[in-house]
Structure 1
Amino acid sequence: MITMKIRPSSLYTGPKWLTWSLLIIIIFLISCFIYMIYLYIDLKDSKTAGYEETKQQLLKANTLTDISKVETFHGDEAYHVVFGTDDQQDKIIFYPLEGKEKNLTTVNQSEIISKDAIINEWEQQCSDCELVKVTPALVEDNKLWELTYIDASNRYVLDYVSIYDGSRYEQYRLKSMFN
Structure 2
Amino acid sequence: MQIKKRYIVIGIVLLIVLSLVALFSILMITSYNTKGDHNDHIEQVAAIALEHSPIESVDESFEFNGESSYFVYLGENNEGKAYYVFVPKTENVDDIKLLEQEEGLTKEEMLNQWSSQCTNCELVSISPGIIKGRFIWEIIYTTSEQYYFQNFSFSDGEIYDSISFQRN
Q: What does residue 77 of structure 1 align with?
A: 68
Q: What does residue 7 of structure 1 align with?
A: none
Is the Cα contact below 8 Å between 1:111 and 1:164 reproduced in 2? yes
Name the % identity: 21
Note the alpha carbon deviations across 1:81-131, whole angstroms, 9 max, x for none: 011111211211111123745222212223321212221221221112111
Note the alpha carbon deviations across 1:157-177, whole angstroms, 9 max, x for none: 11111111111111111224x
Q: What does residue 60 of structure 1 align with?
A: 51
Q: 2:12 aligns with which of 18, 21, 29?
A: 21
Q: 1:165 aligns with which of 137, 156, 159?
A: 156
- Per the TM alignment, residue 150 of structure 1 is displaced from its structure 2 partner at its CA by 1.1
**SS of structure 2 residue aligned to 1:29:** helix
Superposition TM-score, scaled by structure 1 size: 0.80
- Per the TM alignment, residue 38 of structure 1 is displaced from its structure 2 partner at its CA by 2.3
CA distance in 2, matches of 1:99, 1:83: 17
Taking the TM superposition and a 5 Å limit, the aligned residue runs for 1:94-133 are 94-98=86-90, 100-133=92-125
Is the Cα contact below 8 Å between 2:53 and 2:85 reproduced in 1? no
Task: Evaluate the alpha carbon distance shift between residue 110 and residue 140 of structure 1 in structure 2; reply closer, same or farther with a 3 A threshold.
Answer: same
Taking the TM superposition and a 5 Å limit, the aligned residue runs for 1:132-147 are 132-147=124-139
Superposition TM-score, scaled by structure 2 size: 0.85
Worse-superposed segment, 39-48 or 90-99:
39-48
CA distance in 1, matches of 2:116, 2:47: 40
Q: What does residue 41 of structure 1 align with?
A: 32
CA distance in 2, matches of 1:163, 1:61: 23
The one-letter amino acid of 2:83's match is K
Q: Which is helix-richer, 1 or 2?
A: 2
Could you say which structure has the greater relative contact order, defined with CA pairs below 8 angstroms and 6 or more residues apart?
Answer: 2
Q: 2:143 aligns with which of 151, 158, 169?
A: 151
CA distance in 2, matches of 1:61, 1:72: 18
CA distance in 2, matches of 1:170, 1:71: 20
Is the Cα contact below 8 Å between 1:91 and 1:109 reproduced in 2? yes
The one-letter amino acid of 1:57's match is I
> Which structure 1 residue ranges, 5 or more long, are not aligned?
1-11
> Which structure 2 residue ranges, 5 or more long, are not aligned?
none
CA distance in 1, matches of 2:40, 2:68: 16
Is the Cα contact below 8 Å between 2:52 and 2:93 reproduced in 1? no
CA distance in 1, matches of 2:75, 2:149: 25
**Bigger radius of gyration among the two:** 1
